[in-house]
Structure 1
Amino acid sequence: MGRRKIAMEKQESQSKRHVTFSKRRVGLFSKAAEMCMVTGAQIAILVSSPSNNPKIFSFGHPSADTVIDTFLTNSSPATSMGDCTKESLRPLYREVKAIEREMKIESATQNEQKKKTSREEWWRSEEYKDWESIEKLQAYAKALEELSNNTRARLESMSLEVQKNH
């Protein structure tokens, strides 16, 4: 599966919004680390999560605090640091890559759990909450009614077989 362009619109589902936030945050931090490595720029990024219990995530080189203090005091960037070299940024870059790997693992685990739940207890799915048309809900209700009728007929058939065998 290749990359595809995702429309820039607010995710209505809280879980989709959380996953999108996490993936995009990691991507943003990764690009910032690459920019530091390539240009030697000092960067600070603060991101607030869109959850009920918001958290602040930060990224910075040499540190978010150093860059923010420099900005707030209108002072020039630390001259003692000299030019940022690739070697000095490698640990930071490795940390961002480790976070990316963790996010991929977490995403794969969530997808596997979602598949497992959908196979075992598909009726508990909240997928219908994302449907915006009454036609989809009516089709879903009709399919559930048909399933119920088929299940009832099979149960009656099996009950008759059991009664014949006893």
Structure 2
Amino acid sequence: MGRGKIEIKKIENTTNRNVTFCKRRNGLMKKAFELSVLCDAEVAVIVFNNRGKLYEYSSKECSLHKTIQRYRKTTIDSSDRGAITEVNTRNWEEEVAKLRQDIELLDITNKNLVGERIENMNQKQLKNLEHKIDKAFSKVRKRKEEVMCEKIALGRRNEDMLKQENDEIRSWIMERECYQRTNMLLSQPEYNALPAYASQNFVHGNLITTANHFARQEQTTLQLG
């Protein structure tokens, strides 16, 4: 037969209540131990009986005091996070309102700079607006002059580069024409018809000079005789 269901209410009999307390307390401690081991959880159990006697259990790797401190810190941090979130929300709302005002002011200023919505401006405001426009115009003119100078400098650099490239191309063309003229000269029939001198038929100039010298000496001797 299965176990019957027990009605959950206070046990009036003192003896039965004490026996049930001991059994249930031991079962609770056992379940807490199994939970800490199987799930690697940090578990702490505090039980007081009806007479005020304390029964406690904590995980093996931590003490009950550390677990209580961790619990308090967690609950305090949670409440602080709620307060911080509320403060941050309020600050963001104020920042958004301020940014909207700045955007509206900038929009009015931009329209004033192009000559719109100036009907309700007094003399002082119009004077300040005129000063801002003059200052902006001076900056625009200065930047325009700088851009023109940059374009002129860039044009000069491009002109120098083009001139250098033209000189290089002209030099290459002249070299090519000279090479072609040389090839044409070498390919003419008159150049090919010139006789080739053999090494055995070539008489050195020094030998010819020496032979002429001896011939002149012989002729002088004969004349003296």
Higher helix proportion (structure 1 or 2): 2
Give the TM bin, normalised by the shorter chain: 0.3 to 0.5
Q: Which has the larger radius of gyration?
A: 2
Answer 1 or 2: higher relative contact order, Cα 8 Å, separation at least 6: 1
TM-score (norm: length of structure 2)? 0.30
